[in-house]
Amino acid sequence: MTRDIALGQFIPGKSLLHRLDPRIKLVLTVAFIVYIFVAQNFAGLVLLVVATFALMAVSGVPIKLYFKSMKGILFIVLFTAVLNLFYGTGPVLVQLGFMQITANGIRNAIFIAVRIVSLILFSSILTFTTSPTELTDAMERLLSPLKVFHVKVHEISMMMTIALRFVPTLLDETDRIMSAQKARGADMESGGLMQRIKALIPVLIPLFVSSFRRAYDLAMAMECRCYHGGEGRTKMKVLHLQTIDLVAVVFAILMLAAIILLNILLPASLT
């Protein structure tokens, strides 16, 4: 059910990750995404997975919430892994018509699946330990050099954060609408693909109406509070780098050095 999806939620806490500067967390998240694609063997990937699970434990967020965040993309992970089964060279293990599965294909499938799972879990660490307000401030600060080119940095940051903030709300709204339709006798689980798509129409229409109404209410509330973008606005909480932020940066640099060293010493896993 959609209620089990934890994507975009913020879990208040006092862990080390909660106390990190949101700018550092954003930069390190982007760096980790780069690291995932820099790692070309299982040794480097295992190092990233261990670091991810260590950060999950330090975050103080229940582990079950991290795995709930995987439910929405589990099909994509499995589909991608199955596709990569058929891309590989070497001795053929299974022949399925014109398609063949090799040992390298199996390694590729596992490697890609672990990459995607690590990416989602690490991104979940960011959203679970950083409030929408902190994300807005961090993105605005990091993108502030673009103001020279007359880019509306504050508005862009605000839109991205609002979109992320309303993901759980829309999922909850979808779940309520589906429950209401099922109570009226709607069948959304049987029949062929086209029948299931047609059964979703009574869900999508009220969901769109509710989304537009929610967006209108939010815009009206911002207008009533005389919101006019980031020009001349002050910050209630000013961001300052602390010792823990510098330690996190040093840790990220050491991780990159270790991954590059493993790439040099060990052969690549993708072939």
Sequence ranges of the domains in the chain:
1-130+240-271, 131-157, 166-237
pLDDT, average across residues 6-27: 84
% residues pLDDT > 70 (the chain)? 88
Q: How high is the pLDDT of residue 131? A: 85
Indicate the pLDDT class of residue 6, thresholds 50, 70 and 90: low
Confidence label for 1 from pLDDT (cuts 50, 70 and 90): very low
Single out the residue of 95, 21, 13 nearest to residue 58, CA to CA.
Answer: 13
Q: Which position has the token pair 């979109």?
A: 163
| 127-141 confidence digits (pLDDT tens) | 899 888 888 888 888
> Which of the listed ranges 50-54, 96-100, 230-234 does the model predict with the highest average pLDDT?
50-54
Summarised one tens digit per residue, pLDDT across range 214-233 is: 889 988 988 888 877 666 66
Share of the chain above pLDDT 90, in %: 24
Q: How confident is the model at residue 36 (pLDDT cuts 50, 70, 90)?
A: very high
Which of 150, 197, 164 has its CA nearest to residue 29? Answer: 164
Is pLDDT of 4 > 60? no
Q: How far apart are CA 89 and CA 33, in angstroms?
A: 27
Average pLDDT rounded to a whole number, residues 17-33: 92
Q: Say what the pTM is.
A: 0.76
Q: What is the pLDDT of residue 154?
A: 79
- Tens digits of residue pLDDT in 140-191: 888 888 888 888 887 888 787 787 778 778 878 888 888 888 887 777 677 6
Size of the chain in residues: 271
Three-state secondary structure along the chain? Answer: CHHHCCCCCCCCCCCHHHHCCHHHHHHHHHHHHHHHHHCCCHHHHHHHHHHHHHHHHHCCCCHHHHHHCCHHHHHHHHHHHHHHHCCCCCCEEEEECCEEEEHHHHHHHHHHHHHHHHHHHHHHHHHHHCCHHHHHHHHHHHHHHHHHHCCCHHHHHHHHHHHHHCHHHHHHHHHHHHHHHHHCCCCCCCCCHHHHHHHCHHHHHHHHHHHHHHHHHHHHHHHHCCCCCCCCCCCCCCCCCCHHHHHHHHHHHHHHHHHHHHHHHCCCCCC
- What phi and psi, each to the nearest 5 degrees, are found at residue 212? -65, -40
Q: What is the mean pLDDT of residues 200-212?
A: 86
Q: Which residue has the tokens 């049987």?
A: 190
Read off the pLDDT band of 2 (50, 70, 90): very low
Cα(260)–Cα(60) distance, integer angstroms = 30
Question: How large is the average pLDDT for residues 50-79?
Answer: 86
Q: Higher pLDDT residue, 197 or 109?
A: 109
